[in-house]
Chain A
Amino acid sequence: MSIVDVQSGLRRSAPSRRQALKVVAASAALPLGVAGFRLLGPSPTFHTWDGVALGAVSSMTLWHSNAGYARRTLQHMTIEVDRLENVFSLFRPGSELSRLNRDGVVSGVSPDLIEVMTASRQMGLLSRGAFDPTVQPLWNVYQAHFSRPDADPAGPDGAAIEAARRLVDYAAIDITGRTGQLARPGMSVTLNAIAQGYITDFVADLLRNEGFDHVVVELGETRVLGDHPEGRPWRVGLRDQNGATGRMIDLSDGAVALSGGYGTVFDPAGRNHHIFDPATGRSASRMTDVAVIAPRATDADALATAIFVAGEERATALLAAYPGSRAIVTRTDGAAVAFG
């Protein structure tokens, strides 16, 4: 490179001493200016959206200096949350999943449904069926049983469970191109063990691409980007079965999902709850709960359900398939064991 003086167009071989000083001074002045700007300019704060997504109390929190921009971004994200609810919600009769369950076939599905179905199948294979999105018929049986006022607290009778269990088979979901199909009539799919994680990831990824450094997304599952602005990891509190202060975990750039049999219980003793073991057709009861920490909420969400159903003996093997994941199992006697 050579130095060109615009005014004269003359070329010189080296800068003068005076010019060299100027260059150094100007280079030093700019960082000082920026430091001043950081001190005097708008300081970043937390901006939060709160609402409900897939039936869960949800929030998104950003740390940013431009309040208007942060607010618009959060607003912006709700458009995608709403769209994804129209894919995965069991409560919206027009959602892709509801249409699949009603008609047994749905065409022109979104890439999101395909991706979640694929991830579900993978988890189903890995867990040898402990994780199975086709357990919805079991839910229907339990729901019908326990909504009778004189319901037997032990749960539905064996024949009804067995009939429903025959409809549980994740391998019988066929996704070809953009068409999803259920192999047997009466089959029904729930993606509640994974879709919230997917939505959480989807929004978190959008926010990361928008350049936000400190983000907490709680759309059914929890995913954080970066650290807390104070420079420490985010502290996420996990609820225990009594709803009291559970374990606190430190989380940076990762997700945590909790599976416990106390989320939605059918009977007073809590023996019958919403996480079913496809092998028995009964509510899984190998542990009190499991928290899975993984880079992505989709994986954490699905792993938590898989480990909860499969039991701690198989936790290590399951976690090994998802690099960076670990689990904390609370045994039925209250002891906590870490895996991964």
Chain B
Amino acid sequence: MHSAGVLRWVAAGAVAVIAAVSFPALAADEVKAPIAERVTPEILAEVFPGGTRVGPVDAIRPILPVFGNDIRGVELAEPIGYIFSPFDLIRSPSYSPKPYDAIVGMDRTGVITGIKLLTFYDSYLVGFPDRIERVKEFLAAHIGYNAVTNGPFPMQPDFAQGTTISARSMRAGILDSARLVWRATSGPPITEPTLDLDGFGLRNWDELVALNAISHRQVTFGEMRSLFAAAGAADVTTEVPLGQPEIGLSQGRFDCRFLTNRACTVLPTPIRGDDEIFTDLYFALASPALIGRNVLGSGLYTRYFSPLAPGTQMLAMMSSGPYEFRGLNYLRNEGNQFDRFRLVQGDLEIVFTREQHNLVGIINVRDRPHLPDVAVFYIPPTAGFDALQPFQIILMVNGTTPAGEAITFDIPVAYHVPPEVVLLPYVEPPPAWVQAWQASTRDVTIMGVALLLLTGIFVFQKRLAASPKLHKWVRTGFLVFTLVWIGWIAGGQLSIEHIVNYIRAPFDGVDIGFYLAEPLIVMISVYTLVSLILIGRGVFCGWLCPFGAMQELTSKIGRFFFRLPTWNPSERVQKWLWVPKYATVALVVGVAFGAPEWQATAQEIEPFNTAIGSAFTRPWPYVTYAIILVVMSLFTERFFCRFLCPLGGFLAIADRLHIFTFLKRRVECGSGGCHLCEHSCPVKAIASNGKIIMAECFQCLDCQVEYYDDKRCPPLAQKRKKRERASALPPMGVPFPAMARQASPAMGADK
């Protein structure tokens, strides 16, 4: 979606340029009443809930500011959002070239508040009420979408001819004009993360708390007492007496009401239940309008924040409970410092003074906790405080031990300004192919593990082949993975098309990113290339090709459950049958260069798209062809791979390059008289002289299983029998070393 986003930005810029340059000309083609006349109170209520009235239209643009009331019902001086129509701003067309008119509301953070479609001329919509309803529903799904941050769309239109185009183009126009409005009404471009002081939208208390724009800490008397007790200072004297819950009914608290303060402090400590609130503290960084204006209300926010020197931050502290955050000591101590809380940010500690604060008093608002104590505190720009970094408010509880020692308990409460009030510079998204890799992390990981496993299979092939059972299960398991996951789920079938694309790449100027944007295909291609050079084509064909796996698995099922017979051509005929695959690769590559319009048709020699890519959901002619190939492979192992596959043909040609052969042979093999492997090779890649024809070998390792099987491999079985006979009946007079030599596996006989 990102690159679509970029396109849209570019297009938005382009559209804006056209609109700006040719506005008089475009305005001539349809005349509508000015936006202010089209926005009725009903439409205002619909597209901007919470907006009370619209202001006069902007002096230079057809944008209507929307005004609203703050929490106390007082109208905010600044607009809370804007109303506009793509019709006036960019005249964006929908399916019809005649522009549609949609009244759009957007708050000042860029969030769409409502869309009302007024007029449109789309041929697929006019006269189809159900379609109109669907387009309206689609547009309504974007209420709450932030047009500025450009996130993923909340809804993709289902395909419906005509209406989809309408829906999508209307959305594009609405979002483009929303961005225009936002840019026109916001300040200069952002070059580094900046605290957004002006961005504003109405947020209630719960929303602010959910945003973490307000931090909260509740401390009970029980908690305070256990804190002090844990510090071994249970009998500490504090400014707000902590009381003793176990004292029972106390006269003190009752009497206190009728006595002077002074007398009260000397009375027996009042009862304080464990759950009783010591202090219920809320605080927020109130400088951003989104937080401060919503927390304090418009009048108070303006009164306290606007006189401040630029760069000064404002903290709003609010609490209920007997332990109020200011205390009284600041009135009498040196420097008039508040001693019940301080601010800590890294090494920075800020203790506030009397001059740095203003008492606000009580803000009474429904739907929020009752907080009788409210004050604002100022942090001057010289303090070294960075509002974007996390900080802590440390609630301090001071006490005196019976010995007269002062003791302070710190209760830290964390705060981090929410991202909603931080403006970030526009970051150029990474290239689309990088995004493709980022988006397929999971697939890339699975594939990476599988390729590692496959490498392990070849590195430890001796150990694997020595255990026929293990080999059978590992191989079958891997093939199932190749077919089901690589093929059907991840869509990672390597095809001759990819090879053709790679060959053509230097000639047709296609962006390299285009090739890199298929992570799995890139991984498989690279692995295939490396394994082709090292061992041969068989690593891909025998292990990583989903269609190959499909053929092998179906024929395994056929043979295991139904004991289906096998057909194989004679060695002489087979030599001729190997040829067509070279012809098909020549055909496909030739067509790709000579007659590109037939490339897709030529590639249909491969049934990969049918059987793997679209899991047999293509039209029947293709499916029939694929089925025929799979049926043939039931009786002739991998019929398609061995005789027809252009990709196999290409790899078989390149196979001539391979450096190593790890498949072990004995002198007895083939011309030595033994044809066991030759017969058990499922694809008949072993000639009657015992030589493995690597261009036809699928590296299934079946011959290696035979090689290590001392019950089936004749030379090995013979040795085993000898050895058994020898151990059962040690021959008389034979010296020990000779016997040992006979019994060891004849590794020296390897070819």
Contact = CB atoms under 8 A, between A and B. Distances in A.
Interface stretch (B43-51, B450-458, B563-571): B563-571
A322 B634 CA distance: 47
Interface string B523-544: 0000000000000000000000
Interface string B1-40: 0011011101101110100011111001100000000000
Given A111-B509, A237-B162, A210 B497 contact: yes
B679 A6 contact: yes
Contact of A209 (B24, B509, B603, B608): B603
Contact of B126 (A53, A239, A244): A244
Given A41-B617, A147-B24, A218-B165, A268 B8 contact: no
A233 to B, nearest CB: 12
Contact of B168 (A59, A65, A66, A91): A59
Given A34-B616, A38-B617, A9 B96 contact: no
A158 interface: no
A263 B97 CA distance: 7
A176 interface: no
Contacts of B622: 213
Interface stretch (A25-33, A116-124, A130-138, A330-338): A25-33
B144 interface: no
A76 B616 CA distance: 23
B28 A267 contact: yes
Nearest to B510: A80
Interface string B104-143: 0000000000000000011110100000000000000000
B156 A69 contact: no
Nearest to A207: B600
B161 A235 contact: yes
Contacts of B562: 22, 25-26
Name the interface size band of chain B.
35 or more
B614 A66 contact: yes
Contacts of B420: none
Contacts of A53: 7
Contacts of A80: 510-511, 514
B323 interface: no
Nearest to B574: A1
A55 B13 CA distance: 10
Interface stretch (B267-275, B325-333, B359-367, B623-631): B623-631
B174 to A, nearest CB: 13
A242 interface: yes
A252 interface: no
Given A22-B564, A42-B615, A46-B159, A237 B25 contact: no
Contacts of B433: 79
B616 A49 contact: no
Given A19-B565, A91-B17, A211-B613, A30 B634 contact: yes
Interface of A: 1-6, 9, 15, 19, 22-23, 25-27, 30-31, 34, 37-38, 41-44, 46, 48-53, 55, 57, 59, 61, 64-66, 68-69, 72, 75-76, 78-83, 85, 91-92, 110-112, 143, 146-149, 151, 205, 208-211, 213, 218, 235, 237, 239, 242-246, 262-263, 265-268, 270
Given A15-B565, A72-B440, 20 more contacts: A2-B570, A9-B675, A26-B631, A30-B630, A34-B623, A38-B616, A49-B4, A50-B168, A51-B3, A52-B10, A57-B169, A61-B159, A64-B617, A72-B491, A91-B13, A146-B25, A147-B21, A147-B25, A209-B497, A244-B123
